[in-house]
Structure 1
Amino acid sequence: MPRSLAHPAPSPIGAAPGPALPIPASAVPTWLAAIDEWMAQPRTARAVILWLSVYLAVAANWPLWLELARIGGAPSVYMRSIGAMSLLLVAGTVALLSLTAWSRWFKPLWFAVVLLAAVVQHYMLAYRIVMDPSMLANAAQTDPNEVRDLLSGRMLLNVLLVALLPAWWLWRVRIVRARLWTHAWRNLALFAVAVAVAAGGGMAMNRELAPLMRNNVHLRYMLNPLATVYSAGAVALRPLFKHSRKLIPMTGGAALGASYAGQARPPLFVIVVGETARSDHFALNGYARDTNPELSKREVLSYRNVHSCGTNTLASVPCMFSPIGKVAFEARKDDYENLLDVMQAAGLAVFWIENQSGCKDVCNRVPHAAAVDSLPPAVKAALCDGDECLDDALLNGLDARLAALSPERRAKGVVLVMHQMGSHGPAYYKRSSPEVKEFKPECQTNALAECGHAELLNGYDNSIRYTDRFLARTIDWLKSQSKDYDTAMLYQSDHGESLGEYGLFLHGVPYSFAPEVQKHIPLVAWFSDGMRQREKLSNHCLQGDLDKPYTHDNLYHTALGVMDVKSPSYKPALDMFAACRNGGAA
């Protein structure tokens, strides 16, 4: 009679087998019984991690294999690349897991690695991301609302497809016991062999791999789960291996300029930090769809050639407020006081209002609040899903927030920074209210692969229309303050977004090889008549600069110029409006 599942039932992963009632052989198909019998055979911990490494290479690295096929073109080319990368991947995974090949109590850890690989593969397939350290650091700062937007039934299915088989095996397999010393020297030997195979294979196939990796840097971050473990380790350990950052002062010499002497009205400047907006999806910049019906009526300046500092919020937001620019910011060894510190040191009232996952330390030393705070229950019910709100929450109660600022500082001038939720993906449909949803049908899920490209664009473009209305309402609020203040607004997104171009979705691709759409951002400025007169700005000059190249590096110096704040750190050449002051005489 063939063997059946009549032997003892499995125990939880990591526990000793326990007795169970026998299952009649007739109740279990023969092939299933044979598989279960094979899985239940005793094996050494090293044999288990060898099998797991091969399984993960095959089942959890489809993004890598598909990318190699895309790059290689012909099968005769990409099959060699896949073979070479397979050897390195399996050897590297064996080397990593050999550190854990001790006893059955490591089964939960082995399953956790499988689960991690399954989840990472889902997101790499769904959104074409890579797991580099910046992506992991950005993910670590994601709030619960954003995490919820990334969960879906498709994710559960994809994870189960990868994780169910090894879960069954790890449940059934019996780990052969051995002395601690025996485990130690055998694990060390396996580690050495795996490293030798990886090193020898890399050298033998250097002619194949060197140009491939040099020209396609992102491939190294697609090795699953090695890339994720490396990136997570880099993010977690980085603070332990770097010197304690000093805060370099930049506020020395900050003072208000001559325009404040005997001013009729103080200036009120709103800086809107957008989220995930693409320049080429603004109708103001030539997009065929009418995504800017409100701003087009409000005499705004829309700059068409602006690029971000980074491709994710964590990189871009601190960089855009920094006085030192992108290159120095990325190479810095210490932190620097930022634009808001300088404005506050000059005597202005500064306030940051947050509707995202945090100000990334930019607002640490100035007054700040979350948009959801103090919202009336009826308003919160209309605008928010839990603590995740539409951007109109930033405008609610703004008069009261303004009135609550220091009267002494407010009498000199005010800088308000509003950090949008904007077009944050993948749940673009959540970023707009029903009355602005012009483009239908829109993608109604965060599993973008389930939607057609047209539906995806509809959802994203509706979020841009909502930002358009939000900015228009911000301008209208500023106009309502014109009796008491000279007002202006400057909006720019933190980065762009991929919407399927080159098979990529979302953002966060390393800047050096990120597509243009993740870096090309909108920038919109508006000045009241009072602010134009105060600044002596030439409208003809401003209109002539709309196609000039600008970056996030310009914000610091442009904002100091708008508010006439004198600082040794101010560089007129980086002030977007400097050449148009005094009638364009400069």
Structure 2
Amino acid sequence: MTSSLLRSPAAPRAGLRPTLLRRGPVIPAYALTVLVALFIMAADNRSFWARAGAIFDNPVSVMQFGAALFALTLFLLSAFGPGRLQKPVLVFLLMLSAVTSYYMDSLGVMIDRDMIQNAMTTTFNESRHLITPGFLLHVALFGLLPSLAVLWLRVTPRRFLRRLLGWGGMVLASLALFAGLILSDFKTFSAVLREHKELVGSYQPGAPLGGAVRYAKMMLKSRDVTVAPLGADAVKGPRLAAAKKPVLTVLVVGETARAQNFGLNGYARDTTPELAARGVMAFRDVESCGTATAVSMPCMFSTLGREGYSYDKGIRQENLLDVLHHAGVAVEWWDNNTGDKGLAARIGKARSMDEPGDPAFCGSGECTDGIFLAALGEAVAGMTEDTVLVLHQIGSHGPAYHLRYPPEFERFTPACQTAEFAECSVEEIRNAYDNTILYTDHVLASAIDLLAAQDRVIPALLYISDHGESLGEDGLYLHGAPRFMAPETQTRVPMVLWLSEAYRRSFGVDPDCVAARGKGLSHDNLFPSVLGLMDITTSARREDRDLFAPCHIEAS
């Protein structure tokens, strides 16, 4: 009796729960697809609408082209989401559009094939700074909440044949609408698409989906690759062979340093005081191969040049490190970034500097580039053979610029102290970035001092960045812009050369001649110039691109 009295009130309370909260209203399948397509075009394409408004001469063309892409969105949602797949496809594309639109709208970053390649080859430490509170809020509002609404709503049940016919009708109707709208003013739209590729590059979810397809095709094409030998005829030249001590070239591959913010290049701020005091050669006019590490770094170590480089061609041919190895030079790769991108795969000497990580330089869980210095001193002290040592920096990699330098190098203030750029002014972001350049200056100068102070090897140091960085110019931040639209802030990089007195004497190099050749350079010059710096003779070396080829003073 007591048990029945205690249970009886529960039954009516359960029965009073509103039906809508449990299951949601019922709507036709096509209506759900149309609603999601409208939401994506309205909520996730702010950058697209802004660019369309700036490109087209009249609002009618804007709306007509926008309607065409709405029809294309409808086609994508319908074609890949028949029957039971409808809701999973809608949720996936809602979440995808929310993620990509955040980076497009807030940072101006296009998610194309190269950007997807960057994402696939990055590390947790690098990518975690992009997951900010602003990003999470954006994805929750524009991805998670509408996805929950999709799951909550119920679709009108239909028999298989009617469902199939309805799906086919939606696919054909949306495709026909897209084609009709484009063809109605084909001359205008085709011209815009040819001249303004960034317009379609800002369209969500089409741009990231297209980039993913192109990335997948690129990776499938590059499976089971046979690497062709390069420079197998490489030998040490007479100057290197005659050197009385081991010759060491330290090749520092910078990260995200742009030429415009290097004091040596005429920047208004003195961001490179230590290098200036050491009389280095600074090359001001240097162009990068790409705008992101995944493209630039393999390209600069290849002999293909920017015009001839592609991912597929690059991985099918040996690179600079292999040629040096063929010549009998010891080659090592030290990394404080996202790895060697396969460049050191065959030399067998790659070292990650953050494992286990010196607490003096790795207090934040990531290591600053000062971690290289003690290891460099130890390596030089025991060096017995001609060596090229590659140091791959973390440098100025954003958005967490404030983690790239110790507190004592925060000389440009106030500096942005977060990876959430929305919380900082453009000036604060620039201050933090300039502090990273100041610290790179210190690391390079300290390495030069270390090399100059020892008497065991004949040293030289060459520094070149992989790509530049946007700091808010024209609404762009970070890097990785498609090459066709990349600003010079992402494609102009610093390049610095230091030659010890011992090197100049042993190799008979005229530094004034080398400095005079510093115009119109690019990453294409790196491959032959490192071979020239080390005096490596090989058919793979193009002397017309070698900075050192015409600059040797013959002994009398």
Tell me, yes or no, if the aligned pair for 1:84 and 1:205 is still in contact at 8 Å: no
CA distance in 1, matches of 2:221, 2:306: 23
2:464 paired residue number: 492
CA distance in 2, matches of 1:104, 1:20: 30
Q: Which runs of 5+ in 2 are unaligned?
A: 1-12
1:368 paired residue number: 350
Tell me, yes or no, if the aligned pair for 2:507 and 2:552 is still in contact at 8 Å: yes
**Residues matched between the structures, number:** 542
Q: CA deviation at 1:215?
A: 1.6
1:52 paired residue number: 36
Q: 1:559 to 1:178 in 2, by over 3 A?
A: same
Tell me, yes or no, if the aligned pair for 1:117 and 1:225 is still in contact at 8 Å: yes
Asked if 1:552 is matched to 2:516, the reply is no
1:339 paired residue number: 320
CA distance in 2, matches of 1:572, 1:484: 30
Which has the higher mean CA deviation after the structures are superposed, 152-161 or 576-585?
Answer: 576-585
Asked if 1:389 is matched to 2:367, the reply is yes
1:20-35 matches, within 5 Å, as: 22=16
Report sequence identity in percent: 36
1:187-586 matches, within 5 Å, as: 187-241=167-221, 244-330=224-310, 333=313, 335-366=316-347, 367-375=349-357, 379-380=358-359, 382-386=361-365, 388-401=366-379, 411-481=384-454, 483-546=455-518, 548-582=519-553
* SS of aligned partner of 1:579: coil
CA distance in 2, matches of 1:401, 1:100: 57
2:5 paired residue number: none
Q: CA deviation at 1:447?
A: 1.8
1:407 paired residue number: none
Tell me, yes or no, if the aligned pair for 1:354 and 1:369 is still in contact at 8 Å: yes
Q: CA deviation at 1:364?
A: 1.0
Tell me, yes or no, if the aligned pair for 1:46 and 1:101 is still in contact at 8 Å: no
Q: CA deviation at 1:112?
A: 2.4
1:145 paired residue number: 125
Root mean square deviation, CA, Å: 2.4
1:41 paired residue number: 25
Q: 1:160 to 1:82 in 2, by over 3 A?
A: farther
1:126 paired residue number: 106
Tell me, yes or no, if the aligned pair for 1:537 and 1:584 is still in contact at 8 Å: no
1:30 paired residue number: none
Q: 1:81 to 1:242 in 2, by over 3 A?
A: farther
CA distance in 1, matches of 2:81, 2:118: 32
Asked if 1:61 is matched to 2:34, the reply is no
2:3 paired residue number: none
Q: Kindly provide the amino acid, as one letter, of the partner of residue 519 in structure 1.
A: T
Q: Report the TM-score when normalising by structure 1.
A: 0.87
* SS of aligned partner of 1:385: coil
Q: 1:543 to 1:168 in 2, by over 3 A?
A: closer
Q: Kindly provide the amino acid, as one letter, of the partner of residue 560 in structure 1.
A: L
* SS of aligned partner of 2:359: helix
CA-to-aligned-CA distance 1:451-481 (integer Å, 9 cap, x gap)? 1111111011001001101111111221233
Q: CA deviation at 1:218?
A: 1.3
CA distance in 2, matches of 1:105, 1:545: 61
Q: 1:232 to 1:163 in 2, by over 3 A?
A: same
CA distance in 1, matches of 2:170, 2:541: 59
* SS of aligned partner of 2:303: coil
Tell me, yes or no, if the aligned pair for 2:65 and 2:182 is still in contact at 8 Å: no
Q: Report the TM-score when normalising by structure 2.
A: 0.92
CA distance in 2, matches of 1:558, 1:474: 21
Q: 1:337 to 1:382 in 2, by over 3 A?
A: closer
Q: Kindly provide the amino acid, as one letter, of the partner of residue 389 in structure 1.
A: C
Q: CA deviation at 1:211?
A: 2.1
2:152 paired residue number: 172
Tell me, yes or no, if the aligned pair for 1:538 and 1:584 is still in contact at 8 Å: no
Tell me, yes or no, if the aligned pair for 2:295 and 2:311 is still in contact at 8 Å: no
TM superposition outliers: structure 1 runs of 4+ over 6 Å: none
CA distance in 1, matches of 2:555, 2:108: 46
